[in-house]
Amino acid sequence: MKVVHVITRLILGGAQENTLITCRLLAQRGHDVTLITGPALGPEGELFEQTKGAGYKVIVLDRLRRAINPLYDVPSYFAIKKLLRELQPDVVHTHSAKAGILGRFAGHALKGKWAKGRPAVVHTIHGLAFHPYQSNLLNKFYIAIEKATARRTDCFISVADAMTQQALAAGIGRPQQYVTAYSAIEEGDFLEPISHERRVEFRRKYGIAEDAVVLVTIARLFELKGHDYIIESAKELAKRFANCVWLFVGDGNLSDTYKKQVRDLGLPERIRFAGLLPPGEIPLAIQACDILVHCSLREGLARALPQAMLCGRPAVSFDVDGAREVVNDNTGRLIEAKSVEQLIEACAELIEDEELRRRLGEKGRESVKEKFSPETMVDRIEEVYSKLVGGRF
| 282-291: pLDDT as tens digits | 999 999 999 9
Question: What does the pLDDT look like over 245-280, one tens digit per residue?
Answer: 999 999 999 999 999 999 999 999 999 999 999 888
Determine what percent of the chain is predicted with pLDDT higher than 70: 97
Q: Give the separation between CA 53 and CA 88, rounded to whole angstroms.
A: 23
What CA–CA distance (Å, rounded) separates 284 from 150?
A: 40
Rounded to whole angstroms, the Cα distance separating 5 from 23 reads 8
**What does the pLDDT average to over 230-242?**
97
Distance CA(371)–CA(197), nearest Å, equals 31
pLDDT in tens, 157-184: 999 999 999 999 999 999 999 999 999 9
Q: What pLDDT, on a 0 to 100 scale, did the predictor assign at position 50?
A: 85
The alpha helices in the chain, defined as continuous H runs, are: 14-28, 70-87, 97-108, 136-150, 161-169, 188-191, 196-205, 227-240, 255-264, 282-287, 304-310, 340-351, 354-368, 374-392
Please, which pLDDT band fits residue 8 given cuts at 50, 70 and 90?
confident
Mean pLDDT confidence for 223-240: 96
Is the Cβ–Cβ distance between 177 and 156 less than 8 Å? yes
Residues near 366 by beta carbon (within 8 Å), at least 6 away in sequence: none
Which pLDDT belongs to residue 116? 61
User: Can you tell me the distance from the alpha carbon of 277 to that of 251, in angstroms, rounded to the nearest whole number?
Assistant: 9
Residue 323: pLDDT band by 50, 70, 90 thresholds?
A: very high
Give 256-264 contacts, CB < 8 A, sequence gap 24+. 258/221, 258/227, 258/231, 261/231, 262/231
* Per-residue pLDDT, 112: 58
Burial of 152 (0-12, 13-18, 19+ CB in 10 A): middle
* pLDDT value of position 115: 47
pLDDT of residue 44: 62
Concatenated DSSP letters of 151-162: TT-SEEEESSHH
Instruction: Check residue 213 and report its DSSP letter.
Output: E
Mean pLDDT in residue range 43-50 = 75
**Residues of 183-206 as b/e, b for ≥16 C-beta within 10 angstroms?**
bbbbbebbeeebeeeebeebbeeb
The residues near 315 (Cβ < 8 Å, ≥ 6 apart) are: 291, 292, 293, 294, 304, 305, 308, 309, 326, 327, 331, 332, 333, 364
Q: Tell which wins on pLDDT, 393 or 69.
A: 69
State the average pLDDT over residues 334-346: 97
- Tens digits of residue pLDDT in 12-22: 778 889 999 99
By C-alpha distance, which of 174, 181, 119, 185 is closest to 150? 174
**Per-residue pLDDT tens for 63-121?**
998 788 888 899 999 999 999 999 999 999 999 889 999 999 999 998 655 546 789 99
The yes-or-no verdict on residue 393 having pLDDT over 50 is no
Say which residues have a Cβ less than 8 Å from residue 36's Cβ, sequence separation at least 6.
4, 5, 6, 7, 59, 61, 64, 80, 83, 99, 103
Q: For 132-157, what is the mean pLDDT?
A: 95
DSSP-derived 3-state class of residue 130: coil
Question: Residue 40: what pLDDT?
Answer: 75
d(CA 102, CA 48): 22
Mean pLDDT of the chain, nearest integer: 93
Q: What is the mean pLDDT of residues 217-222?
A: 94
pLDDT (average), residues 40-65:
84
Which residues, 6 or more positions from 258, have their beta carbon under 8 angstroms from its beta carbon? 221, 227, 231, 248, 273
Least confident of 36-50, 73-87, 314-328: 36-50
What's the whole-number mean pLDDT along residues 46-74?
A: 88
